[in-house]
Amino acid sequence: MNVLVTGAAGFIGGHVAEALEARGHQVTALDLRTGEDVRDATALGRLLPGVDVVVHQAAKVGLGVDVADMPGYASVNVYGTAVLLAAMAEHGVGRLVLASSMVIYGEGAYDCPRHGRVRPGPRSAEDLSRGRFEPRCPRCGADLVAAAIDEDAAADPRNAYATTKLAQEHLAASWARETGGTAVALRYHNVYGPRMPRDTPYSGVAAIFRSALEAGRAPRVFEDGGQRRDFVHVRDVADANVAALGGGRPGTLTAYNIASGEPQTVGRMARELAALRGGPEPVVTGEYRLGDVRHIVASPERAATELGFRARVGFGEGMKEFATAPLA
């Protein structure tokens, strides 16, 4: 296939482009770092003719710093995707693989001993300041047990980035309905691996911990370190994009969790990286961010059944590599 990869010079996009080329696909790269913007309809008009599928990785990422980040997120993620989809329709490109995110779910799935499956709202600043980090049942206030969330769960974005990722999915679904195109949204969980961006306010937690250890500092773990995430290796994410080239159904958007299926706590990841690098022990700070969620554990079964994708890099193997892998 002829594949246009947006964000091809980025952390995930670079690995995706390499995986596509390794499997014999012809890759055309678009990236702001090389002077081509996904918001530039003229550039898209030059690149899209003859393309079979667009793999859309370009995005402004991370939780953000404050509300001043909102225009940037909306411009790149929402407006940029709208420009891309309009250009695809104009040039007859009928297949899209979209880099989406688990952040659209907000909190993950939980079970209450009295009320069964529930979706708690945002944790209050009062609870967080008192060190009560676990969500409570929205009906009875009882403690909850985290469960795996699947793709049919209702969206509940908690920050500007999450809101724009959900908007991308809605735009792609509209494009698919109106053009008969096929859209696949890959909801990445916590991606890590070689060439991950270094410590910035927009970095993932894995890069923040690695950067601290590289500088000889102890990783600072927020809350009590018990937050559960699914850390998925970037090479597995790249393989998922290759698998998605033939996925989905015409006229609609189909979403897939892209996850390892092996949830871990943030505290364990910090301890693993510190031990592997021989660095200082992590410091559990009790700090918190209102936009963060407590647990997000994914069900990877739909991707396995429909795309034939299962992650291959285990947590221990991936962390051993990541502890010394080059960062961008």
Does residue 323 carry a pLDDT above 60?
yes
Confidence label for 62 from pLDDT (cuts 50, 70 and 90): confident
When pLDDT is averaged across residues 311-315 and rounded to a whole number, the result is 97
Q: Does the pLDDT of residue 199 top 80, yes or no?
A: no
131 to 124, 134, 210, 224: CA distances (angstroms): 11, 9, 26, 8
Residue 65 pLDDT level (bands cut at 50, 70, 90): low
C-alpha 69: how far from chain center: 18
Dihedral sign, CA of 274, 280, 284, 290? negative
Structure tokens at 194: 């070689």
Q: Is the pLDDT of residue 148 over 90?
A: yes
Instruction: Please state, rounded to an integer, the average pLDDT across all residues of the chain.
Output: 94
pLDDT of residue 201: 57
Residue whose entry in the numeric block shows the structure tokens 């990783």: 219
With CA atoms as reference, report the closest residue to 196 among 291, 313, 319, 304. Answer: 319
Q: What six digits make up the tokens of 244?
A: 């998605």
Q: Which domains does the chain have, with CATH numbers?
A: 2-108+149-323 (3.40.50.720)
